[in-house]
């Protein structure tokens, strides 16, 4: 059974058992198959719990889930409750090399994509709450590929022109990058979003739990 269906069943059971706050974060990576890992959080009265789920198309076994464990503080719900308004109103913008252009009735997008990427999902289903947002991790990058440093040398007028078209300020002897990576004009906007901050906070918390070998399958 797919991981989303498993999570829906778990949430239904938790609600029936009196959980007053429920949510999860899921990371799905698409390569030559799909691999997903999710962490389900819930609160019953003043107690907070977590459970890990993982599923891979490379593995014919069904979705795996760890034992349920109690934790002191997940920061999952506290962050959501404090920044709920921003989390609901803000959105991660697509990776773009320049603003869209409009010619007549046609809009031409400069969106940059890649075939293999990872997506982060955040879901909260507490009471009547039904929050769900996702973003492509690629859209958070400043460049579409790693910058390759060139040696310091004198550049031609044509090379300097290319870099200036990409928004670079340079002189003819400056060290630049010979692969001309594409810069994301939405990088600064995206890095300041609360959902990106939430992702960093939760990732750090989960990394701490993983280093302690918290999850038993």
- Residues 53 and 104 grouped into a single domain: yes
Helix (H, G, I), strand (E, B) or coil at 104: coil
pLDDT at position 173: 46
Closest-CA residue to 56 (of 38, 81, 77, 80)? 38
Q: Do 198 and 204 form a contact (C-beta atoms < 8 A)?
A: no
Q: Tokens 């429920």 map to which residue?
A: 22
Please report whether residue 27 resides in a domain.
yes
Per-residue pLDDT tens, the chain, 217 aa: give them: 589 999 999 999 999 999 999 999 999 998 878 899 999 999 998 899 999 999 988 776 778 999 999 998 779 999 999 999 999 999 999 999 999 888 888 888 899 998 889 999 999 998 888 999 999 999 999 988 766 555 555 667 777 777 677 666 555 445 555 556 789 999 999 999 999 999 999 999 999 999 988 898 7
Please report whether residue 164 resides in a domain.
yes
- Residues 68 and 159 grouped into a single domain: no
Q: How many helices (H) and strands (E) does the chain have?
A: 6, 9
- Residues 105 and 161 grouped into a single domain: no
46 C-beta neighbours (distance < 10 Å), count = 6
- Number of domains forming the structure of the chain: 2
CA distance 158 to 101: 25
- Residues 101 and 90 grouped into a single domain: yes
- The pTM of this model reads 0.83
Q: Do 41 and 144 form a contact (C-beta atoms < 8 A)?
A: no
Domain range spanning residue 177? 145-181
- Residues 45 and 98 grouped into a single domain: yes
- Residues 84 and 136 grouped into a single domain: yes
């Amino acid at each position: 059974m797919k991981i989303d269906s498993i999570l829906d069943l778990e949430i239904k059971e938790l609600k029936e058992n009196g959980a007053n706050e429920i949510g999860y974060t899921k990371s799905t990576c698409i390569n030559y198959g799909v691999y997903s890992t999710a962490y389900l959080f819930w609160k019953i009265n003043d107690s907070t719990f977590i459970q890990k789920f993982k599923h891979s198309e490379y593995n014919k076994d069904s979705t795996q889930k760890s034992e349920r464990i109690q934790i002191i503080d997940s920061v999952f719900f506290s962050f959501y409750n404090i920044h709920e308004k921003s989390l609901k109103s803000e959105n991660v913008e697509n990776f773009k090399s320049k603003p869209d252009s409009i010619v007549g009735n046609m809009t031409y997008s400069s969106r940059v994509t890649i075939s293999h990427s990872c997506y982060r999902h955040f879901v909260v289903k507490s009471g009547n709450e039904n929050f769900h947002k996702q973003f492509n991790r690629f859209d958070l990058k400043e460049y579409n590929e790693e910058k390759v440093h060139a040696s310091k040398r004198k550049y031609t007028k044509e090379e300097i022109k290319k870099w200036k078209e990409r928004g670079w300020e340079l002189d003819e002897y400056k060290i630049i990058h010979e692969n001309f990576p594409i810069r994301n004009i939405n990088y600064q906007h995206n890095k300041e979003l609360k959902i990106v901050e939430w992702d960093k906070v939760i990732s750090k918390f989960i990394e701490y739990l993983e280093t302690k070998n918290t999850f038993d399958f």
